[in-house]
Structure 1
């Protein structure tokens, strides 16, 4: 019996399961060169639909994943945020990563931070994960700045195994947050 992923609530945001009407706005988000500037390339509709199918399969397999994000005040997809098991091998795997992606119109308003804090609370609370990691390009200062704001500590860099040698985005910076450190920072 398939269990519906939980809906997670924050002050301004709701992290909810994916719905059929999300495919088109997700495709628009994934096709936006500004949103995807720190990824190898924007996604076309078929690639975006495949990404959505993989996110839904992750929820089915693990009970968590990347949720659709919407505002309480104005429902409709503004981005995605959540947790995922990393499917490739690196010096820090097996691991669960946190990630986020927001439409350009919804960046710079604190939504990524709120959504990430909601996801971390679910990961370290009900899921009882021992650690959550995040990674990005060194040039993606807004993303790793948020990682630091969330209490994550930098742990060097690594060559992303899904990008070929010499690819300009192959080197990624890694951040980590343990459940113990999250609890200490939150409940001191």
Structure 2
């Protein structure tokens, strides 16, 4: 089982007991505000299984996040591979993307930033990943603020091809961070 520990959190493999809260989280309109749709219970369950398989196959992925004080599953944070043959074409592909999603009751407590920093530290110490990207709808100011807090810089804007023209989520931003620079500054 994979573990990343921070002061208040544990990023770990997924457990079957995480699934009901994950399903609930993906049905919350506020949590899904910057996504074009809700996820069904079946889609959420399949996503959790696929995420865990990624962790097992690659040694990293979108880890389940648990509070150390309560043992409660609160969301996910981690990295995933965006493939060239994926749903859209960008110059940066293939690449490693960092991402997060948390239950609403755990927002505005610094958990996403803390977890993302923990994942970046894990990537620096345990992988040969050189650069990490983050993509978000341009309107997703909360996620963009996290990107900035963890040291990422804006590198591009693009129109998401899977979102219809005229939709408020069409325009997306790309941020990145070079782990080599972080490694040099943290020595």
Q: Is the shorter-chain TM-score for this pair beyond 0.5, marking a shared fold? A: yes
Alignment-derived partner of residue 128 in structure 2: 128
Alignment-derived partner of residue 153 in structure 1: 153
Alignment-derived partner of residue 109 in structure 2: 109
Alignment-derived partner of residue 137 in structure 1: 137
Cα RMSD (Å) of the superposition?
A: 1.5
Alignment-derived partner of residue 72 in structure 1: 68
Unaligned runs of 5+ in 2: none
1:160 shift after superposition: 2.6
Count how many residue pairs are aligned between Structure 1 and Structure 2. 183
Preserved contact between residue 63 and residue 78 of structure 2 (Cα < 8 Å): yes
Of the structure 1 ranges 118-127 and 51-60, higher mean CA displacement relative to structure 2 is found in 51-60
**Which of residues 30, 51, 55 in structure 2 aligns to 1:55?**
51
Alignment-derived partner of residue 171 in structure 1: 171
User: Is 1:41 matched with 2:37?
Assistant: yes
Alignment-derived partner of residue 94 in structure 1: 94
User: Is 1:16 matched with 2:41?
Assistant: no
1:185 shift after superposition: 4.5
Q: Aligned in 2, Cα 1:49/1:65: closer, same or farther, shift over 3 Å?
A: same
Displaced runs of 4 or more, over 3 A? 161-168, 184-187
Unaligned runs of 5+ in 1: none
Preserved contact between residue 81 and residue 99 of structure 1 (Cα < 8 Å): yes
Q: Please, what TM-score do these two structures have when normalized by structure 2? A: 0.92
1:13 shift after superposition: 0.3
